[in-house]
Amino acid sequence: MTKKTNGQTTKLRGEKDKPGDKLDSQGEDKIRADGSSIGFESERTNRTVGPTRIFTREEREAFGKILEQLQELQREHIKYVESHSDRLIQRLKENHEHKSTVLGKMSALEEEVVRILGGELEHSAVPNTEEE
């Protein structure tokens, strides 16, 4: 690691230059050949930086296959959820239609009962002259 003080870059913790390291365009940080930066790091920070992992072609292909499977699984899930949503919307529409039909029939029956009872009430309200 390096530390810049008063325009001077100093090394921290015994850091050594590696072949291919160079200063960036501002001359502030060193950039390693692998693209990582050698910049200021607080001495209180305890970071363990391991070696950069380079994956083989087979490993990259395996990752690619896993990603393809993940993407296919995602497509299948979205397709299922959307079709399930469509089924739910259709069922809700059927529910509203059924409710409307049943309530209409109930209302008609209620009116019929009221009409029949209304006729009975009218007959009982008129005095029966035949019995007297």
Residue corresponding to tokens 């990752």:
63
**What is d(CA 88, CA 99) in angstroms, rounded to the nearest whole number?**
16
Residue corresponding to tokens 């363990």:
48
> What pLDDT does 40 receive?
52
Give me the residues of the chain with pLDDT under 70, please: 1-49, 121-132
Q: Where are the domains of the chain?
A: 2-38, 57-125
Q: What is each CA distance from 88 to 91, 92, 101, in whole angstroms?
A: 5, 6, 20
pLDDT digit string, tens, across residues 48-86 = 667 788 889 999 999 999 999 999 999 999 999 999 999
Average pLDDT, the chain: 76
Statement: the pTM of the whole predicted model exceeds 0.75: no
> What pLDDT does 17 receive?
54
> What pLDDT does 72 receive?
98
Count of alpha carbons within 13 Å of 41, Cβ hemisphere only? 16
Residue corresponding to tokens 């994956």:
55
